[in-house]
Amino acid sequence: MSETSKIEIRALRKSFGSNEVLKNISLDVAKGGVVALIGPSGSGKSTLLRCINLLVVPDGGSVRVGGTSFQFADGSKLPDVKTLAKFRATTGMVFQHFNLFPHMTTLQNVMEGPVTVRRMAKADAEKLARTQLAKVGLAEKADQYPATLSGGQKQRVAIARALAMEPDVMLFDEATSALDPELVGEVLNVIQQLASEGMTMVIVTHEIAFAREVADRLIFMRDGIVVEEGPARQVIDNPREAATRAFLSHFHRTGALPPANATP
């Protein structure tokens, strides 16, 4: 698997103070693969996701995305800011609370990465940004400020903003957890569309039904370790571990997607 894998995490460790959040985590994501990370809050799944683009710098282990890899050990020198920035430019991330830039219009939000980081000409960046906004069904919102958008629209803009960097990998950190229930579907639809286009993705989610539908692999984490891992449907329909069963019992295990009311 390791020759074809896009993301390779080995023996990852991370502590915040005396709290060990990740204990020896390994993870592979195949090119075009979709991995869902589930688990109770505090299980370390968001920290693991943030270690993939080094928003959180691990204490130990290694992280490889595409052809770039980093080793971490006690006392080892951290990568410098330029190296980190260059590395992060190849991964897209979508946050629970959108984190759109409120002082910029929707279009400017999506153009910001290409213009500032990729040094693209404004006209080219605008064209790219309009394409990405159209893709998430928000072409007509280009000149509005984020404050005027609904939560679902904000999150779709955030996805367009990440896609405008033309990343190899997309990371979703509970992208639908802050949304009103009726707005979840439109965001999940966009993610599902990306999956069908072959985007490599790691998705931290509480939408078990969605994970079952979209992810090919599922990882259940608890207390900083991987408790169970396998094909998404198999883990959700027939969990082997008691802890996985206990966690999944909190959800309705229908295979259906939540109702979609996207407005492209």
Partner 1 sequence: MYQWDFGILWSYRWLFLNGLGVTVGFTVVIVVLGLVFGLFGAFGSLSRFKAVRLTALTFIEAFRCTPILVQLIWFYYALPILAGVEMTPITASALALSLYGGSFYSEIIRGGIISIDKGQSEAGAALGMTPGQSMRRIVLPQAIKRMIPALMNQSIIQFKNTSLVSVLAVPDLVYQSQVAAHDSYRPLETYTAVAVAYAAILIPLTILARRGEKRLAVSE
Applying CB under 8 A, the residues found at the interface with partner 1 are 53, 55, 81-82, 84-93, 95, 97, 99-103, 112-113, 116-118, 145, 147, 158, 161-162, 165
Those residues whose C-beta lies under 8 Å from the C-beta of residue 33, and which sit 6 or more positions away, are: 5, 6, 200, 201, 216, 217
Say whether 18 sits in a helix, a strand or coil: coil
Sheet (strand 5-16) strand order: 19-30, 5-16, 60-65, 68-72
**Least distance to partner 1 from the beta carbon of 219, Å?**
21
Return the number of the residue (119 or 250) whose C-beta is nearest partner 1: 119
Q: Least separation, in Å, of the C-beta of 29 and partner 1?
A: 18
Q: Which is nearer to partner 1, 173 or 228 (CB)?
A: 173
Residues 6 or more apart whose CB falls under 8 angstroms from that of 245 comprise: 239
Which C-beta is closer to partner 1: that of 53 or that of 132? 53
Write out the two tokens for 36: 């869902």
Pairwise CA distance, residues 230 & 239, whole Å: 9
C-beta of 85: minimal distance to partner 1 in Å? Answer: 5
We find the least distance from the C-beta atom of residue 90 to partner 1, in angstroms, to be 8
| Tokens 């390994």 found at | 26
Residue with Cβ nearer partner 1 (92 or 258): 92
Rounded to the nearest 10 degrees, the angle between the axes of helix 151-163 and helix 122-135 is: 130
Smallest separation (angstroms) from partner 1 to the CB of 7: 16
CB 25 within 8 A of CB 48: yes
Give me the helices (H) in 59-180, please. 81-88, 106-112, 122-135, 151-163
CB of 101 to partner 1, least distance (A): 6
Element (DSSP H or E) covering residue 68: strand 68-72
Whichever of 30 and 89 has its CB closer to partner 1, that residue is 89
Long-range contacts of 110-116 (CB under 8 A, 24+ apart): 110/157, 110/160, 110/161, 110/164, 111/164, 112/161, 113/89, 113/161, 113/162, 113/164, 113/165, 114/164, 114/165
Q: Which is nearer to partner 1, 81 or 123 (CB)?
A: 81
Residues written for the chain? 264
Identity of the residue, 90 or 193, whose beta carbon is nearer to partner 1 in the bound complex: 90
Q: How far is the CB of 84 from partner 1 (least distance, A)?
A: 8
